[in-house]
Structure 1
Amino acid sequence: MEQLTEVDNTFVQMESNRTPMHITPVIFYDQSMAPGGNVRFKDILEVFRCNLHKSKIFRRKLTGGTLGFDTPYWIEDADFDLEFHVRHIALPHPGDWRQLCILMARLHARGLDMRRPLWEAYVIEGLNEVEGLPANSFAIMLKIHHAAIDGVSGAEIISAIHSPEPDTPLPTPDDDWQGEAPPPLREVWTNAYINNLKRPVRLITTVSELIPNVRKANRLSEERGSEEHEVSRQKTRFNARVSSHRVTDTLVMELPRIKKIRQCVPGTTINDVIVTVVSGAMRKYLDARGELPEHSLSCAAPINVRQERNSESKGNQVGVMTIDMATDIEDPVQRLQAVYHNSLNSKETSQVVGTGVMMDVTRSLWPQFANITIRAATLAADRDSLPMPIHTVISNVPGPQAPLYLAGARVHMLMGLGPLVDMSGLFHAVISGMGLISINFLSCREMMPDPDFYKQCLVESYDELEQATFLKEKPRARRKKKA
């Protein structure tokens, strides 16, 4: 039995029919190398069955609520049923990319059963007409609740069901596993009483450490002065209450070409290039509707604060950095340069304040108070008079570059979908792997009724940036001297 952390508990409390709080990696496979060139569903079930012991996430569920006075507990589910969690479906006719996007959006919009282990896997067949995929491909869409993983620790599940070679034998299933009974109510409430005695002391310590850091950050901002780029706090169409309907699509790029783009501006990172592509797309999309703010939009970029020596620590280990996206700059190279400098400033500020400051504050609050605060902040932000700190989320998770296999089928491409919440109705999940990098956007259907157009904006933004950096890099031809 293990108690849920306060940070992870916020994701449980934010769960609703409109805002399911799961992360969804989508993995595409080429089964031409599998025995007989075909992977059967029972083979995939066996892979999961033989690897359940590699991650606690697979078989544990939540229990032991205390009406918000403390966080619930993870216990091993004595009624665990693998075939409930691993499901087999086929892509509806006509089986093309658009139909796949519709299917992924619908599956992602459905919440998980919070009474069971918080994950589901959909094995999707019928992808023969999907452009860009090898013939006879299939996909696995893996939904995992954010309370169970963050973007980085999610690699644990992905690595658990894959092997580095196509013919690696399956491990022996763990026959010693046993389910657990829910903890006695007396124990749950006793722990809640003790934990709530500790929280005020923890809060005082956290605030006392935070105040001088905030002062340092303010001085740093004052020193930058006019160098600071003016950021819009105006709401966009994506800063509103989300519905239960989702739309999604993906831009897939070659990783070496992204690396070539960043070489144009010394010091830039792959993430800077991605932010520049997204900012160009949002600029185009909003400008086409006459909704582009005069000043720049900003994005929230989750960052990993999981220390190497503590990589197996409990719960989510993630902070958030806010980046000015320079959407008020039309020239793509100049925008990339601005994003690079803005990212450096944001990193410097985050290091001064502390990248895990929100985690520390959340751990110090009573769960019931934290839940009320989150709901109150969301309702307050819905008022037009209040400023908007972010306009989208861009989550960049590096994936595996070395080949991976499942039941002999080779991983061809990875994608992903993130959660939407009120006031944040546009999410960009960026995943790299197998020499490719994808920008997978997710939005509310009412906010983005035309995902095809936003996909076009992403494509045009990327093409313009690549072309501009190519022209900047290309040396001028020398003129021949006259005889």
Structure 2
Amino acid sequence: MSERLRAGDLSVLARESARTPMHNSTLEIFDPGTSGFDHDRLVAHIDDRIAFVPRYRQLLRRVPGGVGNPVWVDDPDFDLHYHVRRSALPRPGSTDQLRELVARIMSRRLDRARPLWEVYVVEGLEGGRVAVLSKSHQVLVDGVRTVDLGQVLLDVDPGPRRLVAEDWRPARQPGAAALVAGAVQDALGDRDVALDALRSTGQAAWRTAGAVTSGARSVAGALAVGRRRQAPEFVFDVDPSEQRRVVLVRTALSEYRKVRRVHGGTVNDVVLATIAGGIRVWLMTRAETVSSHRRLRALVPMSVIDDEQEPTSLGSSVIGHLINLPIGESSPVVRLHQVSYALKAHSEAGRAVAADRIAGVAGFAPTTFHALGTRVALADQHHVNLVVTNVPGPQFPMFAAGAEMLETYPLPPLLPGFALSIGVTSYDGSVYYGITADRDALADADVLGQCVRDALDELVDSATDSKRRAPRGRVRKTEKESDA
């Protein structure tokens, strides 16, 4: 029998709505060079690699009568060209034009009657570059049975490689009677499956078109109401609308390392201190009060080695770490030290996974780790103002179908009760921020992007001043150079 959807994933589907599409996105920009990289080349490349992620050719089928959770089955009409789409920007092909297109595409839900992913090839960028925007539904990527498609598309060299022909044929679709019989058999033969079915009762089911039933909508609505705040602490503590804004920020990894060498901590600490400083100044531009004791409660998913957590195929588990970002602190150095202290217990517990180990996972692992981070956020959002996913990537160029990837921006979804989310990925000497914001609630999201840049500059300036004041010949002890 086909693999059955777990209760946790079913609850994700129940919480999805037009306002909160549950897909993770990644925007990557490539230099075609002499590779001839275009829509047709990417289609052929995905066709060659999709065998590594077989769930990307599967869709969900409901069980008649709701006697069991939906199951993953091969799509009998799978059409790769439907999923890999071609688009283009009008002249001049600016970054602002690209952001507007990406925001519109991100705002739309995936079709549940088909495999839950899409890839857009965007041509016409300035300088002859090509952008690739991918969308994968949250239930599609669990890090155990399926990693993100983006992880298997990138190589460490341009190739060329010989494409391997695969004679894939969809497995025969189970009939209604087989689906019911399989659900009953699974429930009788596996206690966990039976418990899953009980947990799912009244929580979610599917209409024939794949929509959530009214009962599931009631549960999702109750959960959303529980997340809403009667008096939001911040302007982004509200339920999102159906439209998005996207902000892209590129910074140099060397600047984070410079701050770390002088002030201590880790690159991750500097990233979070930069975000804290950026939000602080952004709130001030909105004439909001930022008192000295004001804190922002952030959920930061982190990779750990933990036997009690569900293992993934990536060699580690992902858990949520709650941290109070000191946005009320005016000194950038003090903010950094406060963030470092808050995360010190996590590092000293011996469970934290070194950044270079994550970056060394085969393929381009950040796309999968960001998806796992969103899973953690969905399970634990109580009294949280912001979700930040930060994943280190490889510090060398990577290629897709011979084209070099120049930039990569994670674009996490907006969950119920959140009008802002931030994803961060380091890659090949740069640190990339992808900021997803609600179009209605945060019309000034671009200002936040500039404030993040300014907050990093402030930290770099403080490191420069500290080095000038340091006694001659004195060397500060630092940790081994890495993206930790």
The TM-score by the shorter chain falls in which range?
A: 0.7 to 0.9
- Equivalent residue, structure 1, for 2:49: 51
Equivalent residues in 2 for 1:219-298 (5 A)? 235-266=233-264, 268-292=265-289, 294=291, 295-298=294-297
Equivalent residues in 2 for 1:334-353 (5 A)? 334-345=334-345
- Equivalent residue, structure 1, for 2:322: 322
Equivalent residues in 2 for 1:9-24 (5 A)? 9-24=10-25
User: Secondary structure of the equivalent of 1:422?
Assistant: coil
**Residues 58 and 75 in structure 2, CA contact (< 8 A), matched pair in contact too:** yes
Equivalent residues in 2 for 1:126-275 (5 A)? 126-128=124-126, 135-149=127-141, 156-182=148-174, 183-192=178-187, 195=191, 199=195, 235-266=233-264, 268-275=265-272
Aligned mate of 1:430, from 420, 424, 429: 424
Give how far 1:70 is off.
Answer: 4.8
Mean CA deviation greater in 418-427 or 69-78: 69-78
Q: Identical aligned pairs, as a percentage?
A: 27
CA distance in 2, matches of 1:184, 1:153: 21
Aligned mate of 2:404, from 398, 403, 410: 410
Aligned mate of 2:451, from 445, 452, 457: 457
**Residues 27 and 411 in structure 1, CA contact (< 8 A), matched pair in contact too:** yes
**Residues 304 and 318 in structure 2, CA contact (< 8 A), matched pair in contact too:** yes
Q: Could you give the per-residue CA deviations for residues 357-383 of structure 1, whole angstroms, max 9, x where no partner exists?
A: xxxxxxxxxxxxxxxxx99x99xxxxx
CA distance in 1, matches of 2:142, 2:400: 23
User: Secondary structure of the equivalent of 2:461?
Assistant: helix
CA distance in 2, matches of 1:196, 1:39: 47
Mean CA deviation greater in 400-409 or 245-254: 400-409
**Residues 122 and 132 in structure 2, CA contact (< 8 A), matched pair in contact too:** yes
Give how far 1:51 is off.
Answer: 1.4
CA distance in 2, matches of 1:333, 1:155: 38
User: Secondary structure of the equivalent of 1:252?
Assistant: strand
Give how far 1:398 is off.
Answer: 2.0
- Equivalent residue, structure 1, for 2:220: none
- Equivalent residue, structure 1, for 2:75: 77
User: Secondary structure of the equivalent of 1:28?
Assistant: strand
**Residues 416 and 440 in structure 1, CA contact (< 8 A), matched pair in contact too:** yes
**Residues 33 and 166 in structure 1, CA contact (< 8 A), matched pair in contact too:** no
- Equivalent residue, structure 1, for 2:40: 42
CA distance in 2, matches of 1:259, 1:14: 40
Change (3 A) 1:346 1:313: closer
**Residues 18 and 109 in structure 2, CA contact (< 8 A), matched pair in contact too:** yes
Mean CA deviation greater in 410-419 or 188-197: 188-197
**Residues 150 and 318 in structure 1, CA contact (< 8 A), matched pair in contact too:** no
**How much is the aligned-residue C-alpha RMSD, in angstroms?**
3.3
- Tell me which amino acid in the other structure corresponds to 2:93: G
Mean CA deviation greater in 243-252 or 294-303: 294-303
- Tell me which amino acid in the other structure corresponds to 2:248: T
Change (3 A) 1:284 1:155: farther
4+ residue segments displaced more than 4 Å: 65-70, 150-156, 192-198, 305-310, 345-351
- Tell me which amino acid in the other structure corresponds to 2:455: S
User: Secondary structure of the equivalent of 1:329?
Assistant: coil
Aligned mate of 1:470, from 464, 468, 478: 464
- Equivalent residue, structure 1, for 2:217: none
User: Secondary structure of the equivalent of 1:311?
Assistant: coil
CA distance in 2, matches of 1:69, 1:125: 47
Give how far 1:323 is off.
Answer: 0.8
User: Secondary structure of the equivalent of 1:448?
Assistant: coil
> What TM-score, normalized by structure 1, do the two folds share?
0.76
**Residues 321 and 350 in structure 1, CA contact (< 8 A), matched pair in contact too:** no
- Equivalent residue, structure 1, for 2:8: 7
- Equivalent residue, structure 2, for 1:87: 85
- Equivalent residue, structure 2, for 1:206: none
**Residues 69 and 183 in structure 2, CA contact (< 8 A), matched pair in contact too:** no
CA distance in 1, matches of 2:142, 2:396: 22
- In structure 2, list runs of 5 or more residues that go unmatched: 200-230, 352-377, 473-484
User: Secondary structure of the equivalent of 1:393?
Assistant: strand
* 1:104 aligns to 2:102 (yes or no): yes
User: Secondary structure of the equivalent of 1:142?
Assistant: strand
**Residues 412 and 423 in structure 2, CA contact (< 8 A), matched pair in contact too:** yes
- Equivalent residue, structure 2, for 1:304: 303
**Residues 120 and 134 in structure 2, CA contact (< 8 A), matched pair in contact too:** yes
- Tell me which amino acid in the other structure corresponds to 2:109: G
Change (3 A) 1:196 1:167: closer
**Residues 303 and 319 in structure 2, CA contact (< 8 A), matched pair in contact too:** yes
- Equivalent residue, structure 2, for 1:444: 438
CA distance in 2, matches of 1:301, 1:152: 21
Give how far 1:68 is off.
Answer: 6.8
> What TM-score, normalized by structure 2, do the two folds share?
0.76
Q: Could you give the per-residue CA deviations for residues 274-325 of structure 1, whole angstroms, max 9, x where no partner exists?
A: 11111111111122223345421121112235779943399x9532111111
Change (3 A) 1:347 1:86: same
- Tell me which amino acid in the other structure corresponds to 1:455: G
User: Secondary structure of the equivalent of 2:33?
Assistant: helix
Q: Could you give the per-residue CA deviations for residues 110-159 of structure 1, whole angstroms, max 9, x where no partner exists?
A: 1111111111000001111xxxxxx2110110100111125899865223
Give how far 1:60 is off.
Answer: 1.4
**Residues 301 and 393 in structure 1, CA contact (< 8 A), matched pair in contact too:** yes
- In structure 1, list runs of 5 or more residues that go unmatched: 129-134, 204-232, 352-373, 379-387, 479-483
Change (3 A) 1:477 1:350: closer
- Equivalent residue, structure 2, for 1:221: none
CA distance in 1, matches of 2:65, 2:260: 50
CA distance in 1, matches of 2:349, 2:15: 28
CA distance in 2, matches of 1:13, 1:241: 16
User: Secondary structure of the equivalent of 1:330?
Assistant: coil
Aligned residues: 406
User: Secondary structure of the equivalent of 1:236?
Assistant: coil
User: Secondary structure of the equivalent of 2:299?
Assistant: strand
User: Secondary structure of the equivalent of 1:8?
Assistant: helix
- Tell me which amino acid in the other structure corresponds to 2:179: P
